[in-house]
Structure 1
Amino acid sequence: MNLLSILGGNAFVMFNKELAHEVSVNGAIIFGQLCSSYESFGSKNMLSTYKGENYFYLTSDTIQEETALSYKQQVKAIKDLEEAGYIKTVIMGSPARKYFHITNKIMEQFKGVSSDKREKLNKENIQETIDLGAAEDKFRINKREKQACTKGQTKPLPFSQAYKDINKKEQDKEINYNFNCNYKEPLRPELFRALLTNSCNEFYTKFSVGRYSKKQWNTLIEKFVNDTIESQRYINVSEHKIKGFAYKCLERIIDHNDYKHSDEFSDYQEVMKELNSNHNISISNSLLYNWLE
């Protein structure tokens, strides 16, 4: 296995340990990505010149995609690199973009490092990568073995048995998900009658003034409550919604009642009587009444 070719692949960012100790881990990650982008832009003759220095731009979205660092982490890391003198940044162009310049400080820092030391650092980096990969593989194996164990066991079950147990758990989940935890039994009719009657009477002043006497109001409410229970509409009305239900129903009843006693309804009756006399059409008074109700 050629580990150097793996490290140089698209899935890795070059990381310098000495820079991480001096600046920060995120700073070293950002710097590795900037070096990679500098080489890429340079090979395509896409570098921009500003005050005699070569600059290139990278968006925060691109950096996040390549390094998995958030915008907030990027800002802190870039600031650390600037203060340490490894990079310069400038905003220019239209639309405005952040351009980066890599200073010579990193080259000067490595001038004093011998080739033997550099080779040693490379070997250490490779060994750390191997150790990290081995640790991750061991973690995955242990996790798979643990998933194959039932509660109280330390050894994994045979694959077929483990699969059956997992499948049974999934079936149990489906059964539990189909159970409606929010179901509540409807109120008893007599309790609902008392609650609905009290809620209606709370709106007595709003709806009865100028329309009904106290006796007429009580008769109306009694009929409304009885119809609601007999038709079993109360089953779908929970206790905390009774007041709103009462208000909306009374509002419709009062609107119909007001229309029946309005001039428009009188005109309507006159027109229907005239049509009835001219065309001998019999109109059922009971049907007319039911429509208004």
Structure 2
Amino acid sequence: MRDQAEQLRIRVLETSLQAKKAKVVSVLSGKGGVGKTNVAVNLSLALSGLGKKMVLVDLDIGMGNVHLLLGLTPRHTIADLFEHHLSVREIIEKGPGSLDYLGGDNGLLSLLELDRNSQVHFVRELEKLSAAYDYIVFDIGAGLSEASLKFVLAGHEAILVATPEITSLTDAYSMIKLLHAERPELPVWTMINQCENEREGRAVHDRLNEVSSRFLGKKLANLGQVSFDPAVRRAVMEQSPFVLESPRCEASGQIQKAAHCLLGNAKVQKGAVDQSFISKLLSFLSKS
């Protein structure tokens, strides 16, 4: 007799051609302190401003601070989906503009230890997100826990945020190796933060891409860079995203350019999402 997870997996696969599928993008970094969450928040808002229905999910276990950069306090977190069996509609929070978000919680650490019924409820609720939004953006914690790795591998694309510092580049390459070993076909973008200018950003991307191509046979896509900008620091202090606080600043222009780049890539690869995030996540969870 098939368990509930298997039944749900079959149902998802049977309806995958008819159901709307959100594009699932994970924003991650090899180390902390590189501005990953700031990129995730502002990029999500930029995509929302371009007419995409967006939900930002804080999966930074133990260090979730999406709500701080938005200047908001969430009533619930994503862990409430399985700890209290709430529905996703009950825990969705309204962010600035038309952006929705889900607050983070270290309860996600226990996801892989849940019984199968609780896992199925959790995944069924995530399926509702996939049907309701154009993009789901996951803000993944620095480094990768076993649980958050499942989400990245099940997603459609990953954005790796790094800075020009050698420690950041070393950790970024370690992350690329891990993702490539687990799922070689996963598209990986680089977003170089805290750089002096566009030239430095391109040079850092080229360095990472050259090493990745030579030793792993994996090419990295360039999503651009965010230069040092006083407006970014001011926005963080004000707990307001810089694309809203200072829409004409250099950093906002660079984030807008990255959003257009991401959408342009989606148009080129239209129809390439042949397996839903949900079915992949179920498959990964069943192996835990």
TM-score, normalization by structure 1: 0.18
Q: Which has the higher helix share?
A: 1
TM-score, normalization by structure 2: 0.18
Greater relative CO, 1 or 2 (CA 8 Å, sep 6+)? 2
Q: Which has the higher strand share?
A: 2
Larger radius of gyration: 1
